[in-house]
Amino acid sequence: MRETIHNDDWTLEIYPKASLFKLNLKEVWRYRDLLILFVRRDFVSVYKQTVLGPLWFIIQPIFTSLVQLFVFTNIAQISTDGIPPILFYLSGNVMWQYFSGCLTLTSNTFQNNAGIFGKVYFPRLITPISLITSQLLKFAVQFGLFLAIWLYFFYDDSAGVINPNWTIALLPILVIIMAGLALGSGMIISALTTKYRDFSFLLSFAVQLLMYSTVVIYPLSVAPLEYRKFIVANPMTPLIETFRYAFTGSGTFSWLYLGYSFVFMVVLMLVGIVVFNKVERTFMDTV
């Protein structure tokens, strides 16, 4: 006996995306349990078989900051704008490592998840969002380390004057802009690597070079005037400068610079969404 299937018998219908700008966040929210599972996987799997485990979250910025302290303060004699050097470098590294970590991981979205993408349906946007969220947990640990050292210098006037101000309230906005910059650029690069694997090799090299064009190891005030506009053109520069200004009172804070970073992030996200949605339809043929 032949059974007739009506539309009401289906619990889920999957349609192709009609627009390249469509995010379909409602569907992402419906798969929030999978998002949480991916966040846990991304956070646990990296350090699952290590001896020190999550302690690497703390060890990495400390040793990086100590090396920078030795090279750029003791040897190169680069000014830190009156901020205690270890606090200066740590503030830059905490911010930069969140951005670079998110960018590196999201740039391999299609390549690293080709197996699961080809077997089961779920909103593909969940994967880069889970990476951004799992890196946020790492950022929270490293920010806690920064906060502990900041409190030490705040109560120890002999090490330098620390003058925090109201811009500390902008910290969530700074993190959101950083996440948006990493997500947008990561989606673009992940789309490009489906056809051109060279971008995955170029990225690790580019991230290192990009750090030197950001105020991670030097304050904006010591940059030569003729090069300062190029340094400010890096959207991460206003974010790090604002972060330092908020917690120490030293540095450069400008609504114009911060607005530029925000607009840059929005444009990058829009381009990333278009490229990501376009490649998502056919990437299994090229990966």
How high is the mean pLDDT of the chain? 81
Each residue of 134-164: pLDDT tens digit? 888 889 989 999 999 999 988 876 666 688 8
Each residue of 231-257: pLDDT tens digit? 999 999 999 999 999 999 888 899 999
Please give, one letter per residue, the 3-state secondary structure of 104-150: HHHCCHHHHCHHHHCCCCCCCCHHHHHHHHHHHHHHHHHHHHHHHHH
Q: What pLDDT does 240 receive?
A: 94
Q: What pLDDT does 124 receive?
A: 76
Q: Which residue has the higher pLDDT, 264 or 34?
A: 264
Tokens, residue 255: 């609504």
Q: What pLDDT does 205 receive?
A: 80
Distance separating alpha carbons of residues 123 and 27, to the nearest angstrom: 7
Over residues 34-63, mean pLDDT = 75
Q: Which residue has the higher pLDDT, 224 or 282?
A: 224
Residue 6 has pLDDT above 60, yes or no: no
Percentage of the chain beyond pLDDT 70 is: 78
CB-count burial class (<10 Å; 0-12, 13-18, 19+) for 54:
middle
Residue 263 has pLDDT above 90, yes or no: yes
The tokens 């997500």 sit on which residue?
183
Q: What pLDDT does 285 receive?
A: 46
Each residue of 184-199: pLDDT tens digit? 888 888 877 777 676 6
Backbone angles phi, psi at 61, to 5 degrees: -70, -30
Backbone angles phi, psi at 49, to 5 degrees: -110, 30
Strand ranges for the chain from DSSP E: none
Predicted confidence band of residue 12 (pLDDT cuts 50, 70, 90): low
Residue 1 has pLDDT above 50, yes or no: no
Q: What pLDDT does 137 receive?
A: 86
| 171-175, 205-209, 267-271, range with the lowest pLDDT | 205-209
